[in-house]
Structures are given as structure tokens and as C-alpha cells.
Amino acid sequence: MIFNKIARAYIIIKIILNYGLDEIIPKKYFIFHFFRKIIFWIPNKNKNIEFSKRLILAIEKLGPIWIKFGQMLSTRNDIFKKDIIKQLQNLQNEVTPFDSKIAIRCIENSMNNKIEKIFNNFNKSPIASASIAQVYTAKLKNGKRVVVKVIRPGIIKKIKSDIKLMLVLAKFLSKIFKYGKNLRLIDIIIEYKKIILNETNLLYEAVHTIQLRRNFKESNMLYIPKVYINYCNENVMISEKINGIKISNIFDLKKNNVNMKLLAERGVKIFFTQVFRDNFFHGDMHPGNIFVSYENPDDPKYIGIDCSIIGRLTKLDKYFLAENFVAFFNRDYRKIAKLHIDSGWVDKKTNVNDLESSIRVVCEPIFEKSLSDIYFGKILLAFFSSTKDFKINIQPQLILLQKTLFYIEGIGKQLYPELNLWKTAKPFLENWIKNETRFLKILSILKENAILLAINFDGKKLFKNSFYEEREKKIKKKEKINILILCKSIFLFLLGTTIILFSLFLFMNENINQILFNILVFTSVILFIFSWKFLNRI
């Protein structure tokens, strides 16, 4: 097991160096650059390619887990430059299908039954193959046509291994870059780990689908397929087979005389209903997961599939988000600045006048466009961009929301280019704010979040010289210990690598001293094991 992890770590390091991604590390860290040249003499084979393209090529080489993470980061213009964001948005998660015999074996083991006793027929050719699962069509014994989703074998171990290595990389980058801590890379990866591991348990997707179906049971806007929960477990999920036109197939939608304006507006309303009414939104609404029922083209209905990723916001986050959007369209930049400070999205000590000026500089040019050309997703990006020079505290749940917003708005504009997103969403947001700010609602929020509010807004005053200071001391002490442990781990890994290289040099010598060779190999293995143990203590 330890050798597999070391081998994977080596492959990741090799890919990073092959594409010259280590050039982002400042030259002042000369020790890193020295060891990189002495121990890892792997050259950058792609010097003539610009950095943004090299980054994408490296991510694609690292595999599906890294590609999905890259797609998640494609909305983070507070971290990356525009050219990198553009490249990240083009990442494609193409995965070779695994053998259907393995899928059938997995179904039979999970159901404790033979495939022919579960289905009348089972199509062995997958209709979709992704990084996490593969999808087939079948017919149940009761005659119902269904889709069968099967988890890719061995994917969980691979995810956990790669996430650990991502965290090591994030900790390293958080230490060497000025804004490393404020970008919360470690929190983002932990959130990503939670999301992607939830995707590997199909019971989560099954219950998410059931909940979304319940939320829109009487809706004329969205249909969620029925889940056959008695046939579902961690590795297999069976749901109703739907008939519809892919949302991206504009030609077929127009051919069937679908009301494109109404369809586009309903997409926006569905999103805001999920976020603000239900606090339970589909977090992966890309075009591949959305179909349209065309039975009644004048009253079109969305069909949503693949509900594995679900997002939620706290009551306070929802309130601040809605108020920010309304304040933006009212050009009330001071209110936006105050909301950012009050919500904790930027440091409490931030000068409100400076933040207001920064927000104005970024947001005002947006109004040079017509209202129909303004996107909510881009507004969020503008908010993040305007706070770059301050101690920004991006919440991971807002990244998922922003990603979903980009999908929904992009789809809406494709369907109906004249769609006015603000006109569609404004009544919903204003009514929601009005209802939420009623006296009883405020009392309810204060009651539920009393401790949170005390710590976030007046924590230092309320707990001065006691809990708060003690907590800060513990955090600082832990950070120092973690840095020391990380240094020890890196030193042992480098020492082990040096000994391995020396032992390989001895091995190529005709007069090899077998005892010395064995001792060196054994020593390097011990060093690698201790290096890994130190790493796991962080």
C-alpha cells in the first residue's frame, strides 16, 4: 500500500515538473529549487507552450479526479488569471468505459442475485461512462424501463489517495504565497473531497433525487425521475428512464416548437427556488444533466438527472447573497461593502470606504452593458475580484453555487439570447428578502445563530482574555507544529530518494556489494514510511 502511494506521488511530481508548473514557486525559496535540480532533474519538456495551456495538459494527464477539481476551480478568478480560467473551463472529463462483465458482477454482488432474475433484459453497452460511474439501460421484471448506474471499481481508494496528495500540495502553496490562507485552498479541497466521495455512494444520490422530486412534485417547471429505492445501494442505483430532448440540442427544441423564452425563464426560476425556498440545489446542472419534456411545447418542463452533488447555504449566507444582488442592481456599493464585512466574507477590520471604492471600480463597468447582458455568476466573480486586495474569506459552498449559476445562465442565454436574468429573478429575490426580514424571522435567525453571531461579530469583545485568545494561541501553536512536521516529512522523503538513487548507481556497478545494497534499500524504505507517517499527522 505504501509503495503504491509513493509511486503515485512520484508520478504526480513527474507530471508537474514535466510541464514546468514549479515555475510559479518564488525564486526566494532557493532551497526548493536547489533540491529540485539535485534530486528531481526531470526537465520541462513543454517550454514553448504558455503556462495556462501547460497547466491544463498536466491536469488532463493527472486523470479524472484532478480534471473534476479543475472544473470546480474554473469559476475562481480570485485565484487564477483570465487565460487560466478560460483553459480550465475547456477541461473535458473523457473516461474509457470499463468492462461490462465487471459491471454485471458488481450488480449481482450488490443485489445478491443473478442479473437475469433482476431484469427482463439488460443492455450490455453503456449509454454513458464517467470518472465515477457507468450507466446502462434495462427493463425490470414489472416491465418498467430503467437506467442502471454502477460505481467504477477501485475508484474510492484512488480518490482518497489523490486527495491526500492534493492536500499536501495545498498546504505547501498556502505557506509560500502571500494570499494562500485567505484563498482557503485546504478548505476547498476538503469540500471537494466531501462532494466527490458522496458521488461514490449511490445511496446519497438516490435520497437526493427523492428529495428533489418531492420538492417539485406539483411543479410545472421541473420533473425529477422516480428512484426505485428497493433496488439501490452504495454501488448501484436504478431509476426511471426518461424521454426528452437534451437542453443543448437547440435545433430539436425549435423543431418541436418549444417555447424558448418560457423555457429560459423557468431555468432561472428553478435555480432561485432551489436555493432560496428549499435550500437544496442541484450542484451539477451542466447541459449533460438536463433534458426537456416536449409533450406540451407551449408549457415546457425541465427534466433533471444525476443529483449526486447537492448544495446548501446557511440562512445568513442566503440573506447576504440576496441583499448583495439587489444592492448591486441598485448600484449601492457601500451596502455591498458593509454586507461583505458583516457576513465575514472579508476581514472584520477592513476599511469600508476602501472596500466600497474597490467594488465600485470592478462593478461599475458592468453597467455599460444592457441589463439583459448581465450575469449573476459574473456579479459574484466581480465581488470576489474586488476583494482581492483585502483579506478575502471565500466560502466553499459559494463556489458550488457560482458554478451552478454559470451553467444555468449559460443555458438560459443559449435558449433565448434576449433573456433578462435580473427581470426574471428580481421579484423572487425581493419577495424572499421581504419575507425573511420580518420580525419573527429575524428572532428565529438570532436564536439559532446566537453563538455564531457572537463569535463572528463581537467575539473579541465578548470573550477577551479568555476563550477567544486561548483559541487563537492553540491555532498558532498547531500551525507551527504542522510546519515542523511537514519539514521533517520532506527531509526524510528527500533523504530516502537520495539513498535510492545511490543504491541504483551501486546496482549498475559490476562489483556490487549485495549487503550494502540491501541495507541502503531497506533504509530508504524505512525513511519513506516515516515520511508518510509524519505527513499523516498534519
In 3D, which of 393, 153, 433, 159 has the Cα closest to residue 277? 433
Helix axes 185-199, 64-72, angle to 10 degrees: 120
Cα 137 to Cα 24, 121, 132, 241, 455, distances in angstroms: 47, 9, 17, 8, 52
- Cell representation of residue 333: 456599493
Residue tagged active-site, from 162, 284, 306, 317: 284
How many Å apart are CA 501 and CA 521, to the nearest integer? 10
Listing DSSP states for 352-370 in one string gives HHHHHHHHHHHHGGGGGS-
Residue with cell 476602501: 354
In 3D, which of 151, 67, 165 has the Cα closest to residue 109? 151
Please give the biggest Cα pair distance in the chain. Answer: 87
Euclidean distance between the first and final Cα of the chain, in Å? Answer: 20
Cα 360 to Cα 179, 294, 335, 519, distances in angstroms: 22, 44, 11, 66
The residue count of the chain comes to: 538
Listing DSSP states for 44-110 in one string gives -TTTTS-HHHHHHHHHHHH-HHHHHHHHHGGG-TTTS-HHHHHHHTT-----PPPPHHHHHHHHHHH
Active site residue 284: yes
256 CB burial (10 A radius; 0-12, 13-18, 19+):
middle
* Strand duo 281-282 + 245-246: pairing: unpaired
* Under 8 Å between Cβ of 498 and 490: no
Which residues are known catalytic residues?
A: 284
